[in-house]
Structure 1
């Protein structure tokens, strides 16, 4: 496992300052995140663990610009998401952020290849070039032979591998993962971890992984626990 970059030697890819999210539930305000601070460097892999309802998914949504904080800011590659309008934020997500959800969210009418190529086509890349790149990534997650199959013809684990390929096809600066290996067998999960290792090492892509899986968390460079709306670093054995 590669060592995590030091704060002194690496450019932060992700920074959160005073990140706060408050929801209104009836007459009460419920604070889910409370002045949270986070810094993740290029090439670093960070796991976030915590009990159900601790705010892990809320945090991922804020990091990806899918939700807005009640207070505080998120910076990715030096860009403040707070300063981006809706259209610019959409372009930024397409160019800089990859998402892997707990459920695959593939388009049922598209093949695995078309699903994986979609972010590049949305970006404006020609279909032939987008699909060539998508096929390359599908091969790296063991799905090249199933590229012409639609989601309904794939197993749950195969769908998740396609979703991972879709997240990685754009060479993002930051990949956000919500239980990415939850539906995968042990061998396939190991291959995904190896791919994460390679991308972190060769492309300086940063990963933030929300998980309940101790093995997946332990594989990352750092493990942070979300509790009481804030993050604390877990000690490593």
Structure 2
């Protein structure tokens, strides 16, 4: 095992409140469209502390999804750096980056991306199994988090047997089951009713307080944004306090 893989495979460290969990320096993403370069993110700067919840709002096409992809290591910046839990994503190889994401980053997309052939329980347990946890332990933890998002009675159902809101709850459970350092959410409550959305917010509050997990939430929901510690606006490639 090389040094970068060992680093990414280690357990999550304990983070103190107010410690920097995410740091972006000069984060830039430029796409080529025909003969022109289009700058989507322009030397963006951002710090998010452990236990902090930050909402990012902006018009359609402002680069919010691009930002999430860069923060999660799913895309590479044209310039600048992203550090999570004190580690630079750009310094990791692909194998180490995949292991790091499994241990430190939770994703919730607009579309659930659940595996159709597996039950809700199996989908949520999957990141723990990939990590090497025993099946029984992984499924016990998955069952517990599914219960917290109101899916205790639907654990054995496959995604095709669930409603859109139920699938989103399973996706949220999958993102939180690993006790990540950072959770990235793209319109996480868009398909949920008001009561369920409230339960998800309470679960996020609990996780942020208990484990110092940081959240970055891209949303058009003003109520969801207002619930967070800070609201940032992405406009013309730059972030500013809303």
Where do 4+ consecutive residues of structure 1 move more than 6 Å? none
Residue of structure 1 in register with 2:210 after alignment = 202
| RMSD between aligned residues | 0.6
TM-score (norm 2): 0.93
Q: Which of 213, 234, 237 is matched with 1:229 structurally?
A: 237
TM-superposed deviation, 1:182: 0.1
Q: Distance in 2 between matches of 1:78 and 1:116?
A: 27
Alignment of 1:161 onto 2:166: no
1:18-29 residue pairs with structure 2 within 5 A?
A: 18-29=26-37
1:106-135 Cα deviation digits (max 9, x unpaired): 000000000000000011111111000000
Q: Which of 58, 61, 69 is matched with 2:69 structurally?
A: 61
* SS of equivalent to 2:44: strand
1:182-201 residue pairs with structure 2 within 5 A?
A: 182-201=190-209
Residue of structure 2 in register with 1:173 after alignment = 181
Q: Number of aligned pairs?
A: 226
* SS of equivalent to 1:164: helix
Q: Distance in 2 between matches of 1:79 and 1:145?
A: 39
Consecutive unaligned residues of structure 2, counting only runs of 5 or more, are 1-16
* SS of equivalent to 2:26: strand
TM-superposed deviation, 1:162: 0.3
TM-score (norm 1): 0.95
Q: Which of 81, 84, 93 is matched with 1:76 structurally?
A: 84
Residue of structure 1 in register with 2:104 after alignment = 96
TM-superposed deviation, 1:144: 1.1
Q: Distance in 2 between matches of 1:140 and 1:205?
A: 17
Q: Distance in 1 between matches of 2:117 and 2:57?
A: 34
1:140-151 residue pairs with structure 2 within 5 A?
A: 140-151=148-159
TM-superposed deviation, 1:68: 0.3
